[in-house]
């Protein structure tokens, strides 16, 4: 949930990695944790896991100098992808500012991708958000595997929302490919929406400027 704290000059924004089970959401955070220097990120906390599977959520804070004069903190979460954990997904999604949808590129996962995306739309609506207005990007992960669908097919399945095409990235999250492209773009989209909305509401001397 976005907020500004003038006393300690902080802006806080919430990013959620969403998508089908085993798609690579947790792996995105693990790769970020490995590759971002310790002064720009906090610990990666995984709350309840069974082997590879997230049962509750993962969480990691990131810090950036994105807004002039303010420290910007991104609270980054993953949801559990398995369909039975929908109530947990709703909890994690509360107050979200931006979503990275991590799809699994394997042919055998196309139905799960579509179902998970429909589930995201439904859960956004339930909390008064909408896929048309919430900033999100698509990440087509596991491009290193042999039996994968071509990008144009995944775009056809997942990237035809009203409100236009969204940015999408090919990824191999285990190796870092596509991880930072997705993160940088969602951060940029969320910040620019936040700054616009904020400046509309506030007086001139409180204007926030993206750097
Ligand atoms: N080959 C390959 N394997 C990957 C890639 N990304 C993730 N994996 C593997 O896929 C498995 C599942 O990845 P996770 O990141 O745990 O998936 P998740 O989306 O968090 O799954 P849930 O927590 O169940 O929702 C792990 O064994 C990862 O190492 C990739 O790009 N290529
Ligand atoms: Mg996970």
pLDDT in tens, 51-105: 788 888 899 999 998 888 889 999 999 999 998 999 999 999 999 999 999 999 9
Q: Which of 7, 82, 94, 9 is nearest to 49 (CA)?
A: 82
Of 25, 27, 169, best ligand 1 pocket probe by most atoms within 8 Å of the beta carbon: 27
User: Dihedral of CA 45/50/51/54: which sign?
Assistant: negative
Give distance in angstroms: CA of 17 to centre of ligand 1: 12
Phi and psi at 185, nearest 5°, equal -70, -45
Residue 139 near residue 171 (C-beta atoms within 8 A) = yes
Ligand 1 nearest atom to the CA of residue 49, by list position: 23
Q: List, in order of start, the domains of the chain with CATH numbers.
A: 3-206 (3.40.50.300)
For 128-162, write each residue's pLDDT tens digit.
999 999 999 999 999 999 999 999 999 999 999 87
* 122: CB partners within 8 A, 6+ apart: none
Ligand nearest to the CA of residue 88, numbered in listed order: 1
Which residues are registered as beta bridge partners of 18? 101
Residues with CB under 5 A from ligand 2 (ion): 25-26, 54
């Amino acid at each position: 949930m976005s907020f500004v704290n003038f006393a300690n000059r902080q802006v806080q924004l919430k990013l959620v990695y969403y998508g089908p089970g085993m798609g690579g959401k947790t792996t995105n955070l693990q790769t970020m944790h490995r590759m971002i220097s310790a002064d720009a990120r906090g610990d990666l906390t995984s709350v309840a896991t069974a082997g590879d599977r997230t049962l509750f959520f993962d969480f990691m804070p990131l810090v950036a100098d994105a807004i002039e004069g303010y420290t910007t903190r991104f609270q980054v979460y993953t949801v559990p992808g398995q369909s039975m954990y929908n109530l947990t997904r709703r909890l994690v999604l509360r107050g979200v500012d931006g979503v990275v949808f991590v799809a699994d590129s394997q042919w055998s996962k196309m139905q799960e991708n579509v179902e998970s995306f429909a589930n995201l739309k439904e859960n956004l609506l339930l909390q008064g958000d909408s896929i048309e207005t919430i900033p999100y990007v698509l990440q087509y992960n596991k491009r290193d595997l042999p039996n994968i669908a071509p990008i144009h097919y995944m775009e056809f399945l997942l990237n035809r929302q009203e409100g236009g095409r969204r940015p999408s990235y090919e990824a191999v999250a285990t190796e870092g490919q596509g991880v930072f492209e997705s993160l940088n773009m969602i951060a940029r989209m969320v910040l620019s929406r936040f700054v616009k909305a904020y400046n509309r509401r506030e007086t001139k001397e409180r204007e926030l400027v993206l750097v």
